[in-house]
Structure 1
Amino acid sequence: MHIDSPTPRPAFLAGERDQYGLSRYAVYRGSVEKPFHGVRALPSEHPRRRMHQEELLAERATFFATKMKPHSAFSHVTALALYGCPIVPGGALRDEVGRGGDLRGDGVLRGDESRRGGGSRGDGLLRRDSVRDDELLHVTVPFEASRPREPGVVGHRSRAAFSVRQVRGLPLVSPFTGLLQSSTMLSELELIVMADHFITQGAGGATVALEQLRRLASETSAGGAKRLRRALEHARVGAESRYETLLRLELVHRGFTDLEPQFVIHDDAGFVGRFDLVSRKRLAIFEYDGQQHRTNHRQYITDMQRLDRARLLGYRVLRFHFDDFAVGSRAIGTKLTQFDL
């Protein structure tokens, strides 16, 4: 399968060495990398330790796609990650968040968002110890085909027909299929985060309609469909990051049912700003400040100016940071109490 590589290093089959001017020795015993059986890649000019997890996954997917059969596709959590969904390293499996990962209990966030993880288990799993769970590649093939059996790859066969989309040159199942497949692996909370990403930021350059996802979920009885339907009931357009979704869910859990995502505020002078979450009833603004809000001086000054103008209009402003999510629901509850909210 020809791949329009999303990474600087295209892969090739060992038998295609002549096209790259490589000797048999270089391909089989030289410095050329051997990421998968029969697949070769030229040595990287950049140390892998400097690559982000998303880049490492895309690179591995690019390498394996070189030998994938027609009508097969990356699936499950692999497809979600390749679509750009903000999955935490290792994948947040059931029982990793709250009580069983569902929106129940004393709070939505269990805590230590930075170290959550888990292992994925699937039919046909063959792996090597050097492959992390978040580097495993899930691949789905039609039921009549042989699923891939290779270290670092989880092969699945699907009785149901599935469409294949090309995203940055990689074959992926559709966003809905990826969500449905992952619903037996991810918590309800994680599924909401993934759905928020699709309906706000899109997949492959186009947003996915929430109504369409809900309709498709209502029409299937596949495993995990019930969990996915519950998650889609809580999904909302507007979250521009994983933590904006988590913040919204925690606030809703605490009774803030009138939140408006990406709400625009004006004053007599005109446009004040667009804010992550706003409760007009309580005159409260909730903002998640990512790293760019601290490291970009211009962004920092802009934030200060718009927040000052919002305060003059009577709004109380609560700003949350990554560390708040690392601690969990308790830290967010403490801030709300301090502001008498």
Structure 2
Amino acid sequence: MRKRTKLPRSLTLDGFTVAEARRAGVTPRRLQSADLQAPFHGVRVAAGIPTGVRELARAYAAVMPTGHFFSHATAAQLLGMPLPRYATRDPRLHVSVIAPDRAPQGAGIAGHTVFSRPELWLIGGFTVQNPVSVWCELAPIMGLDDLIALGDHLLGVVDPPFSSEDLCTAVAERPGHRGIRRLRAALEWVRPRVESRQETRLRLLIVRAGLPEPETNVYLPLRYQRRRVRGDLVYLRYRVLVEYDGEQHRTDDVQFARDVDRLDGVMAEDWRVIRVLKETPDAEVLSRLDQALRSRGWRPGSRPT
């Protein structure tokens, strides 16, 4: 069996162009070898490397023209925005250009044209649409609650966080945008300091059931212990705390110990604590919270928090 010729060290195996390889003396036959694959026209990568969005974006970046940028679901994933599974099923990379440039075409690419230049971010070497613009562009394909969760992420997790005014301005600048009604509806529900999709879902469940809206991730003053601890969903007036325990709370021993100490301290100062797991039925959450709030003087129609 004929031994394959080694590729020049100047070629990066996570993505190089055929043109670069030919200039480096690589033959067309070598570029067709089984140890290489072509995720995009004119691009080669080492066979067997992962094919997640980050790896594909890195490979495409080898032929991505200046002025093009990653957008929509691709940008959201590169930015670490929490997307539901249905929004990531399309394996194509979303790439945008500014008119009058033509949107890119080809296998593995979903091209888009925008008519005004958005603010662009450079993340891990990738040029991407800024998170607020991404949030707006995803509105046509996202359900309302998932769009709210993304908005919560922008106000609570992105560092530094965006403000509600940032989101309002972005929506106001898109009067004829596809999904504009959903964006406007989402604005009514987006809140600051929310740290996970699960917290968003839990908050929406509570409010839509007619219970008062809690504050999100605020500090509880523990007067006797002379310290402050933060809670997920907080009713300061009624001294009721709702905590969502994600997987990390059960798999990380250090985090688990901290949570036990924190919640023991909260309950020691006469707070009612409702812990919610992924498996906890919604009806049970609402029943326990309703009972806790009523025991502290809340009645339907009374002033919340």
Task: Please report the TM-score for the alignment, with normalisation by the length of structure 2.
Answer: 0.82
Match of 1:68 among 41, 49, 64: 64
- Structure 1 position 24, deviation (Å): 4.0
* 264-273 or 19-28: bigger deviation: 19-28
Residue identity opposite 1:34 in structure 2: A
Q: In structure 2, what is the equivalent of residue 255 of structure 1?
A: 210
* 1:321 paired to 2:283: no
Asked if the contact 2:34/2:47 (under 8 Å) is kept, the reply is: no
Residue identity opposite 1:182 in structure 2: L
Mark the runs of 5 or more structure 1 residues left unpaired by the alignment.
1-7, 49-54, 92-131
> What secondary structure is seen at the aligned counterpart in 2 of 1:150?
coil
- Structure 1 position 339, deviation (Å): 5.1
- Structure 1 position 18, deviation (Å): 6.2
Mark the runs of 5 or more structure 2 residues left unpaired by the alignment.
1-11, 295-305
Q: In structure 1, what is the equivalent of residue 170 of structure 2?
A: 216
Q: Equivalents in 2 of 1:212, 1:249: separation in Å? A: 22
* 1:336 paired to 2:284: no
Q: Among all aligned residue pairs of Structure 1 and Structure 2, give the percentage whose two residues are the same amino acid.
A: 28
* 1:301 paired to 2:305: no
Q: Equivalents in 2 of 1:20, 1:62: separation in Å? A: 20
Match of 1:239 among 194, 198, 217: 194
Residue identity opposite 1:169 in structure 2: G
Q: Equivalents in 1 of 2:286, 2:23: separation in Å? A: 61
Check 1:300–1:162 CA distance in 2 against 1; reply closer, same or farther (3 A cut). closer
- Structure 1 position 136, deviation (Å): 2.6
Question: Which is bigger in relative contact order (C-alpha 8 A, separation at least 6)?
Answer: 1
- Structure 1 position 331, deviation (Å): 5.2
Asked if the contact 1:9/1:44 (under 8 Å) is kept, the reply is: no
Check 1:19–1:247 CA distance in 2 against 1; reply closer, same or farther (3 A cut). farther
- Structure 1 position 86, deviation (Å): 0.9
- Structure 1 position 143, deviation (Å): 2.7
- State which structure, 1 or 2, has the greater radius of gyration over its C-alpha atoms: 2
| Post-superposition CA distance 1:44-92 (Å, at most 9, x none) | 56xx4xxxxxx8111112222222222221112222222111112222x
Residue identity opposite 2:286 in structure 1: G
> What secondary structure is seen at the aligned counterpart in 1 of 2:188?
helix
- Structure 1 position 276, deviation (Å): 0.9
* 1:290 paired to 2:255: no
Asked if the contact 1:72/1:164 (under 8 Å) is kept, the reply is: no
Asked if the contact 1:256/1:279 (under 8 Å) is kept, the reply is: no
- Structure 1 position 258, deviation (Å): 4.3
Q: Equivalents in 1 of 2:122, 2:108: separation in Å? A: 22
Q: In structure 1, what is the equivalent of residue 78 of structure 2?
A: 82
* 1:154 paired to 2:110: yes
- Structure 1 position 198, deviation (Å): 1.4
Check 1:32–1:255 CA distance in 2 against 1; reply closer, same or farther (3 A cut). same
